Amino acid sequence: EVQLVESGGGLVQPGRSLRLSCAASGFTFTSYWMSWVRQAPGKGLEWVANIKQDGSEKYYVDSVKGRFTISRDNAKNSLYLQMNSLRAEDTAVYYCARASVLRFFGWFDPWGQGTLVTVSS
């Protein structure tokens, strides 16, 4: 069974940092692009970042460029999101999602259960 389990969320003050992790299992991790998607409380979905199978290509939504870094450790079947200079508007549930094998961006299947990040003083 394909599983994605996020961790690392919590309450953090504005301007501080947080690192999210996503443990993947049940599929060949190295075959897939991986993504982070977030959802602010009561709001819609917002794509955050994509990373290629070998980590050589990364794409970010404009609002997090220069602050967030997506990375992966293929030896550990893990995906990460390093979030720096956090703002109140980054408050959201962050979902880890398996993307596609090829460059079919927008394809997310499956999704993890999500981890809540709250940025507040």
- Residues within the interface to other proteins (CB under 8 A): 35, 37, 44-47, 50, 59-62, 95, 104-114
Cβ-based nearer residue to other proteins, 23 or 45 = 45
Q: CB 34: neighbour CB atoms within 10 A?
A: 25
Closest to 72 measured CA to CA, from 114, 36, 105 = 36
Closest approach of other proteins to the CB of residue 38, in Å: 11
Handedness of CA 80, 29, 4, 110 (dihedral sign): positive
Cβ-based nearer residue to other proteins, 7 or 17 = 7
Closest approach of other proteins to the CB of residue 24, in Å: 15
**CB burial readout 75-86, b (16+ within 10 A) else e:** eebbbbbebeeb
Cβ-based nearer residue to other proteins, 29 or 60 = 60
Closest approach of other proteins to the CB of residue 55, in Å: 17
